[in-house]
Structure 1
Amino acid sequence: MQHFDITHWVATLGYAGLFFIVLLEMGFFFGFFLPGDSLVFAAGLLAAKGIFNIWILVPLLVLTAILGYTVGYWFGDKLGHWLLGRKDSFWFKKKYITQAHSFYEKHGGKALVIGRCVPVVRTFVPVVAGMAEMEYKTYFLFNVIGAVVWGGLITLFGYFVGAAIPDAGRYIVPVILVIIVLSILPGVVHYFKSKST
């Protein structure tokens, strides 16, 4: 069944695989399509079953998220204008930068916290912050807060769901779908608000 496939896939990734995927999604613009939210939730769920150690998992995901956004900032600072000169492709579209820039303009440093929970936006917000030459001390503070909220809270949510609900694995697909919807919802609301103004 599909839910077993998902948990088996995440378990097979191990700590190194989780590190690699989160780093790609957070730090490299071509990782925008990776399923970060559902991945860390599933990892937390599996930690409740003893497959991962929660005391290793949470710090790993938080530190990886911080590192990813550090790389993203560097990309924006050093290569942002090169990105804007590229033609659209599957891996990169200028509209992603435009959307992230609008999000950043509206929320400022808070975009680094809120944007972590919005697919695609989370990948490009650090790039935009780097292009805008946001002061790095301020950037790093919001980077850490956002990483703790995203990597810590979603993982712990999965962990406590797994600990509280017997055989929680059979419900992982609907729960992940809810997480995906909640992740996309802020972007949808923002889109329709911008259309109405």
Structure 2
Amino acid sequence: MTQQLEDLLAHAGPILFYLAVWGLVFVGTALFVGIVLPFVTGDSLLFAAGIVSGLLPDRISIVVLAAGVAVAAIAGDQVGFLLGRRLGRPYLTRRTGRWTRTAIRRTERFYELFGWWSVVIGRYIPWGRVLVPPIAGIGGMAYWRFLTANVVGAFSWGVLITVIGYFAASDPTVRPIAYAVAGIVIVASVVAGIRAWALDRRRRDPAGNGPTDAPHQAS
């Protein structure tokens, strides 16, 4: 497998590898690609890219890879936030599909419940990382508040998942720890999603109406 990766990189070049990973991370949130292809633009991509870096450290620098992923994630969220702020609610209502509409309503409630933290936590949830930025823009979140949460969430997510993949491949002694941390991150993401759903259920009105379509106005 390592030899095959070396042959592939010899033909494509490390730069193309970096650009492919960074580009997928960027379009995952900036262009809504993460809604339809979450595994190609999310945690699985970063973990796999980190593994490639761990197997071929002479060709793929984990520092360059992880730093670029963090920048791409931050930039993608910035685009989503600005589009939401400039285009408003119609930007989301144009999205078709029952699952997407349900995810939008769920994310609006998630944003209403957690505010600043929704941007940080949302980075670790497939639907959250795509939908929280535009919803924060639509909801009127102050730009500097969004920026700080964006940097914390995107940087920690981009670096953590990529570096875990790197150590899982490069150092057998820390491989169990790397897999354990990856498992914790996944479980924490699931728990955050379940908690948002549970809180949403509790806050529904007595008549059983679902969440409203308008997001909470956070500043």
TM-score (norm 1): 0.79
Number of residue pairs matched?
184
Match of 2:172 in 1: 165
- Does residue 1:49 correspond to 2:52, yes or no? no
| Superposition RMSD in Å | 3.0
Maintained 8 Å contact 2:121/2:192: no
Tell me the amino acid that sits aligned with residue 34 of structure 1.
Answer: P
Q: Structure 2 CA distance, aligned partners of 1:82 and 1:27?
A: 16
In the alignment, is the contact (CA less than 8 A) between 1:21 and 1:34 conserved in 2? no
What are the within-5 Å matches in structure 2 for residues 1-197 of structure 1? 14-32=17-35, 33-35=37-39, 36-50=42-56, 51-86=59-94, 88-89=96-97, 93-165=100-172, 183-195=189-201
Q: Is the 8 A contact 2:106 2:197 kept in 1?
A: no
Q: Contact between 2:28 and 2:130, CA under 8 Å: does it hold in 1?
A: yes
Q: Please identify runs of 4+ aligned residues in structure 1 that moved more than 4 A.
A: 10-13, 175-182
Contact 1:62 1:148 in 2 (8 A): yes
121-130 or 176-185: which moved more? 176-185
- Higher helix proportion, which one? 1
Structure 1 CA distance for aligned equivalents of residues 200 and 107 of structure 2: 13
- Secondary structure at 2:123's aligned position in 1? helix
Give the Å deviation of 1:180.
Answer: 5.7
Stretch moving more, 81-90 or 149-158:
81-90
% same residue: 32
Q: 1:59 to 1:87 in 2, by over 3 A?
A: closer
Q: Hey, what's the Cα distance between the residues in 1 that align with 2:33 and 2:66? A: 24
Are the equivalent residues in 2 in contact too, given 1:38–1:176 (CA < 8 A)? no
Q: How many Å separate the matches in 2 of 1:179 and 1:110?
A: 16
The structure-2 alpha-carbon separation of the partners of 1:139 and 1:14, relative to structure 1 and needing over 3 Å to count, comes to same
C-alpha displacement of 1:87: 6.1
Q: Any stretches of 5+ residues in structure 1 without a counterpart?
A: none
- Larger RCO (CA under 8 A, 6+ residues apart): 1
Change (3 A) 1:176 1:150: closer
